[in-house]
Structure 1
Amino acid sequence: MKKILVIYPGFPHYRNGIIEELLEDKENEYFFIGDDNMMGTSIKPYDFKGNEKFFNAPSYKVKNFIFHKKMIAYILKNDFDSYIFHSSPFWITILISFFILKLKGKKCYNWTHGLLKDEDSFKSKFYLNFYKLFDGIILYGNGAKKNMINKGFPKEKLTVIYNSLNYKKQIINRDKLNVDDFITLKKKIFGTNYKRPQLIFIGRLTKQKKLTVLLELIDILNKKGQNFNLVFVGDGQEKKNLELITLDKGLDDQIKFYGPSYDEFEIYSLIASSDCCVSPGEIGLTAIHSLTYGTPVISHNNANYQMPEFESIIDGVNGKLFEYNDTNSLVEAVLSWFNDNKDREVVRNNCYKVIDEVFNPVNQKKIINKIK
């Protein structure tokens, strides 16, 4: 059994599925080091609950550079068979730790996004050379792998492990509610208008998500005689602006702001009772969350402006992809999806399939354990 150290600046709560899968692994023994306060950011950290396999290395920031106390001492004192970093050139203590380990002849891998954009910028060339320092790169998506290979990066050094959420705990919720339960929830949110097809967006309400496009979508659909409901689940700096536009367009009986939810069963109820999740900007882990609960996803098709999780959307099977920055294309994607009269149970199972087979921590762990 190999001993492997996973080195992160901090472990976010949404990595709980893969962290727990690695902690329970019987093939290799995994240990973790990072800041248990997520470097003072607003992101909720994963709680290791005093697990002896986690070592806390508090961080501090100097301009754009991040340093970690106690990390180098821990690296010098303890010996592992190989090391998995989540490393940036600007995380100085992590970078120093990497060079120390390379001098000791240790295998070091970088678990990262890689090159998300297919471009020949200074930034992409800089990061490509940085990635070449490692023995291997562990990626979230095939798009980044393709981009790196196109730039001459050795194919054999690239491994795609995809991404996941708290899969084992989430799938327990599946089928806990039935159609009657969903109708009750829809009535609670939309009253007598609950019978309309229901769209959902779940996540932070930020400008980069291009959420005003969703308001345009509902408005255009209305003019075509197609009335939809839309529920926003989340909070953020764009909420007030979205509310004002909703009132200005007279859409307040069709668009509801549910607010943030951190209760997984409540999130399941909201997603599973909706007919489709729509994200006009980058989709990220929202796609995984929605598909896990059997709800199809519509998002745009430009990989250069997407997060790798959009690869979970199979056009026409568990969702639709529309032309980037084209509201009319989004409208047509929504109408096309709903006009096809797809069987909801078939769609639900298509959504489950890509998660159960690929985008889950059990599959991630299997792939990681095969890396030499």
Structure 2
Amino acid sequence: MPLARLHAVYNSLYEKSWLTTLNPALTTPVAFCDRPVSLIASCRLTERHNVAALIDALMTLAGRGLKLHTTIVGDGSERKDLIQTVRNHDLPVEFVGQEYDRNVLRALYAQADIAVSPGAHGLNVVQGLSFGLPVIGPHNDRNSGPESEALVHGHTGLTYDISSTNGLADSIEVLAHDSNLRAKLGQQGYELALERYTAESHASKFDTIVHKVYCGHDECVAES
């Protein structure tokens, strides 16, 4: 098939009109002194989503003396074991279960400083960016979907090699200590989400493609 006939349409999650009502404080630097830096991970709690790697990273960071609070949104077959590991190591992690109400999710993300996707990236990456947070995740996870391309190292978040023992922990530590970098990456990610991953952008792209395919140009002339 000729490349000219291939068109990419980015997935969407929320309307731009709704996202632009977000509190600007989401992208305001938070001082690393008043409270622990807060992480959020929203995904299925299954082996392929690798939340166990996040718990391992939290244990490593606790050993380095870094104070963090983590909220995990989602449910799945590994939830029971993950909760037990958190209890065994007395980690400040809150499991809130699955949640699909976007206003509740917005409130949860508003309390966080960093979003983490430890495996099988999908719309959770877009979700984190849409709420103005930098995202951390592996750059070479074969279980991830196309939305993983929104996670660009040094632009919308930080990435690491999935085979690295301390890659996730090191990335979290970098952002935990640098509120200005968090704000910069979060703002850039938010702008990317508004540009590519909104319902309006999704619909507009389809509309453009339909016109090009059926009319041969960007706009069709309406029949009288």
Tell whether the structures are fold-level matches, with TM greater than 0.5. yes
Between the two structures, name the one with larger relative contact order (CA 8 Å, sep ≥ 6): 2
1:334-357 CA distance string (max 9 Å, x none): 122233442554444212110111
Instruction: Determine which of 175, 180, 191 is the counterpart of 2:23.
Output: 175
User: Could you say which structure has the larger radius of gyration?
Assistant: 1
Between structures 1 and 2, the one with greater strand share = 1
Partners of 1:247 and 1:209 in 2: CA distance: 20
Aligned residue pairs: how many?
205
Hey, what does 1:357 align to over in structure 2?
A: 195
- Contact kept, 8 Å, 1:173 with 1:265, in 2: the verdict is no
Hey, what does 1:165 align to over in structure 2?
A: 13
Displacement over 4 Å in runs of 4+: 176-179
Hey, what does 2:175 align to over in structure 1?
A: 337
- Contact kept, 8 Å, 1:173 with 1:268, in 2: the verdict is no
Inter-CA distance 214–342: structure 2 relative to 1 (3 Å threshold)? same
Hey, what does 1:226 align to over in structure 2?
A: 66
Hey, what does 2:46 align to over in structure 1?
A: 206
Inter-CA distance 155–299: structure 2 relative to 1 (3 Å threshold)? same
Q: Which runs of 5+ in 2 are unaligned?
A: 214-224
Q: Give how far 1:303 is off.
A: 5.8
Q: Give how far 1:169 is off.
A: 6.0
Percent sequence identity over aligned pairs = 27
Partners of 2:26 and 2:153 in 1: CA distance: 27
**SS class of match (1:159):** coil
Inter-CA distance 201–178: structure 2 relative to 1 (3 Å threshold)? closer
Partners of 1:158 and 1:244 in 2: CA distance: 48
Compute the RMSD of aligned alpha carbons.
Answer: 2.4
1:92-147 CA distance string (max 9 Å, x none): xxxxxxxxxxxxxxxxxxxxxxxxxxxxxxxxxxxxxxxxxxxxxxxxxxxxxxxx
Hey, what does 1:326 align to over in structure 2?
A: 164
Inter-CA distance 208–318: structure 2 relative to 1 (3 Å threshold)? same
TM-score when scaled to structure 2?
0.82
TM-score when scaled to structure 1?
0.51
Q: Which AA in structure 2 matches 1:204?
A: R
**SS class of match (1:160):** coil
- Contact kept, 8 Å, 2:54 with 2:118, in 1: the verdict is yes
Q: Give how far 1:239 is off.
A: 0.9
